[in-house]
Amino acid sequence: MKKKSIAFQGEHGAYSEQAIRKLSEELPITIPFRSFWEMLKLVSEEKVDYAMLPMENSLAGTVIPAYDALIESELFVHAEVMLRIEHCLMAPEGLKIEDVRFVISHHQALAQCSEHIEEEGKEAKEYYDTAGAARDLATSEMPFTAAIASELAAQTYGLNILRRNFEDLETNTTRFFLMGREAMECSGECKTSIIFTTEHSPGALFSVLGELSNRGLNLTKIESRPFKKEMWHYLFFVDTQGTVADKQVKDGIKAISDRCSYFKFLSSYRSANYEM
């Protein structure tokens, strides 16, 4: 049987690739891309089977480029993955932590490790990607420099881990969506995700959300983003517990779609385990 291919943003060793490994016991073919839009497009064109999309971080919040790419995509959510982010400080063999002067990584990783960087007396330098920083550190001449990335990145590029759990807070977790071309059936503990926009009128959003509330549905997330097709209009991303196979969810979605000027169903999918 042919292995499935899963696209992710970043370089090999990225946290998105680690999320893929957490999801699948049989390691699929993983393909790195620079942009979220490009990898979702190739899934739509059937050149790649799936894409792993980071949606939000428990400390840094929404991954805005991922949400914007999702709006333009016609793909559906197949699964939710929660990944505990464990930052590692790493360097080429032979460099001791006391000799490190500079630390390179993505700006979010640097921010999430800022207290430890300051305690160690190092200078932080922004890089485009965590795994990219690890890769370039392993292949380029960067004296007195360490990188912050995943343990997978250290293994991938042969770097020595100087400190594990270098993040300032242990609650650092990223939520991912596995995106595919068809909506999935879901049973058990499920969530349903939708996107919509309302008319500009008093109580319009209250009225729409009331369709879910009146049916006893529990919202687990609501997020707004500008609607690029209409100036000063906003798209709302909503997650609710339950599956579209449930009558109350199905009826609520039908009522919402009738009230909205724009509506998009992202699928019902198995809820990830929130335990760390």
- Residue 217 in tokens: 């549905």
For residue 98, what pLDDT is reported?
Answer: 95
Give pLDDT, residue 115: 94
Asked if domains 88-163 and 190-270 share a fold, the reply is no
- The position carrying tokens 């392993």 is 138
Cα–Cα distance, 259 to 43 (Å, whole number) = 31
**Which stretches of the chain score pLDDT less than 50?**
274-276
What CATH code would you report for 5-84+172-180? Answer: 3.40.190.10
Q: Where are the domains of the chain?
A: 5-84+172-180, 88-163, 190-270
Catalytic residue IDs: 174, 176
- What homologous superfamily is domain 190-270 in, according to CATH? ACT domain (3.30.70.260)
pLDDT at res. 163: 96
What is the per-residue pLDDT for 61?
Answer: 85
CA distance 114 to 106: 12
Cα-based torsion angle of the residue sequence 213, 241, 264, 33 in order, rounded to the nearest 10 degrees: 150
Amino acid 27: pLDDT:
77
CATH number of 88-163: 3.40.190.10
Q: What is the pLDDT of residue 274?
A: 47
